[in-house]
Chain A
């Protein structure tokens, strides 16, 4: 068989990819060693998974290099390996700057909270320079195509939580990590459901494992309104209007209509799922941290967001705040508004009034189809909102922060912090002091009595000093928890 120039070019591409595989393997091995040294099990495990994926690419590469197939096919297959390596680099970037829990008391405390809600699961934590908090979940199904059942060797979902440095870098803002932990709970449920679905398709002896339920029933999109939206998009795309009662069943038109229906349905389904998960994550934040979470939400989101403006991933801030209010009024949380001190209560109630008026005065959306989409998603989400509230209360379980705990925390710790600069710490004979207690007392001091706290300093310095004390309280609490967990 003669060797053409194209064969030579493809062979060289294969050699280049082999070098890249080698280079990536070296980088991954070094990262794993570093994560292991720092005790960051989540980052180490994810890097080990990437090694497994890389080795699968190496096996494919070796096969493609000796394959007898047309040269353009061989090049295309090699490019699939190259795309896969690019994907590994994309994933590896997510581990840059990972903060090992043992190096940061706050991260350690959040990881402990995550462990209590999702036993056995850890997250990679890192800071980023953005005006945001984020969770990126990665599922077994994202890798099953590449490494098959080897995914079972890892704990799923793989989680990455990011929180900001710079402007928002205050522990009182970082209460919003609880929202991301809410996403983590939802992601863990999705991973469990995927695993369950997989087991039901595999033949084997019947298992006695308890059935896992979704956190809330699947949203249902009313077909009638969905078709209205599709037909509006159809006209937007420049096609002649269709009769809703005589939709095309055959030919090119029917395929385009099916394509558009699939695309619109996916967008509505995804938006509905996202909005429900956002509401659940907010709700879990309220259940775990009570008023402190609501105040952090108001502090961070209200100065920068259009109150009544939703996006494809989030309900409007006003709708979210009203949903949080409905949580605070649930009997399981007690009389939360009744226990709120005056300025704190005024802040929350004031934002609720503004939210209601913004929702009532919502102007038209930039387009009719966008308005229809938002209305349809709102309707789908509203039908599930009660389920979401119940799910959050249920998942918070014994960690539910009630009005009684709130009142007791303020009575016990608030004055000590404001008058003497002593943050909430447990004294001899007391149990561990929770993150929720620390954060609520801190929010009280900042909101209610900041004038009394270090009156010799200006507002900026007072808040900075307060944050230092809060971090110290978290550190002491974590030291005590870790000490007591040693058998």
Chain B
């Protein structure tokens, strides 16, 4: 059985992201019931902030490229951008993708800093997390399925 390990590695990361989102969602559900975040909950939102930040860099790079600018881009930024795409496609506001991601970063940061978030913003944020979690699990589990392609870091090439 041959495996595409680089794809699997991304799948594993997607599942890890989904796991973190689940923890963040559960923490938010406690806030909805009037509780406050625990110290150990903060890192879930810190990680989310990092993910949205990476996706934002991906969006900005794509916009720059379509305007004719050539600049280096990290694979992580493009990966995060792609993971966030399903959420960008179904967003209900008229914000640009960059503004939408900036607002998600802002909510994540506020939660890490222990600031109060208005109820409607928190609910909207939860909806985004749910959509993102579903997308990440779907992508992740799909990537872990063995495929008949050689590993990325194998020494042998295969016919394209």
Which residues of A are at the interface with B, using a C-beta cutoff of 8 A?
57, 60, 63-64, 67-69, 73, 76-77, 79-81, 83-84, 86-87, 90-91, 130-138, 141-146, 148-149, 176, 179-180, 183, 218-224, 226-227, 247, 255, 257-259, 261-263, 265-266, 269-270, 273-274, 277, 300-301, 304-306, 309-314, 316-317, 365-366, 370, 374
Contacts and interface: CB of A to CB of B under 8 A. Distances in A.
Given A64-B26, A76-B22, A266-B79, 18 more contacts: A57-B19, A73-B25, A76-B133, A80-B19, A83-B18, A143-B16, A146-B16, A149-B43, A183-B153, A221-B65, A221-B70, A255-B88, A262-B62, A266-B78, A301-B155, A305-B157, A309-B160, A317-B157
A77 B73 CA distance: 33
B48 to A, nearest CB: 9
Contacts of A132: 150-151, 154-156
Given A265-B65, A266-B78, A80 B151 contact: no
Contacts of A63: 23, 26
Contacts of B17: 145
A223 B70 contact: yes
Interface stretch (B6-14, B102-110, B116-124): B6-14
B88 A266 contact: no
Interface majority SS (helix, strand, loop, mixed), chain B: helix
A58 B33 CA distance: 23
6 contacts: A68-B29, A132-B151, A145-B19, A258-B66, A313-B153, A374-B160
Interface residues of B, number: 65
A70 B115 CA distance: 25
A142 B62 CA distance: 25
B135 interface: no
Contact of A316 (B64, B133, B144, B157): B157
Given A309-B157, A314-B157, A69 B78 contact: no
Interface in B1-51: 2, 5-6, 8-9, 12-13, 15-23, 25-26, 29-30, 33, 43, 47
6 nearest CB pairs, A to B: A80-B22, A218-B72, A266-B78, A145-B16, A314-B157, A145-B20
Given A143-B16, A146-B19, A313-B152, A306 B43 contact: no
Nearest to B157: A314
Contact of A259 (B33, B70, B85): B85
Interface of B: 2, 5-6, 8-9, 12-13, 15-23, 25-26, 29-30, 33, 43, 47, 58-59, 61-66, 68-75, 78-79, 81-82, 85, 88-89, 97, 130, 133-134, 137, 140-141, 144, 150-160
Nearest to B150: A132
A100 to B, nearest CB: 23
Given A258-B59, A301-B155, A136 B78 contact: no
B59 A266 contact: no
Contacts of A69: 26, 29
A178 to B, nearest CB: 10
B155 A60 contact: no
Interface majority SS (helix, strand, loop, mixed), chain A: helix
Given A180-B155, A255-B97, A83 B19 contact: yes
Contact of B144 (A68, A86, A176, A226): A86
Contacts of A311: 150, 157-160
Of A81, A142, A255, A314, chain B has the most CB atoms within 10 Å of the CB of: A314
Contacts of B151: 132, 134, 136
Contacts of B63: 258
A220 B70 contact: yes
B19 A60 contact: yes
A312 B160 contact: yes
B154 A79 contact: no
A146 B151 CA distance: 25
A188 to B, nearest CB: 14
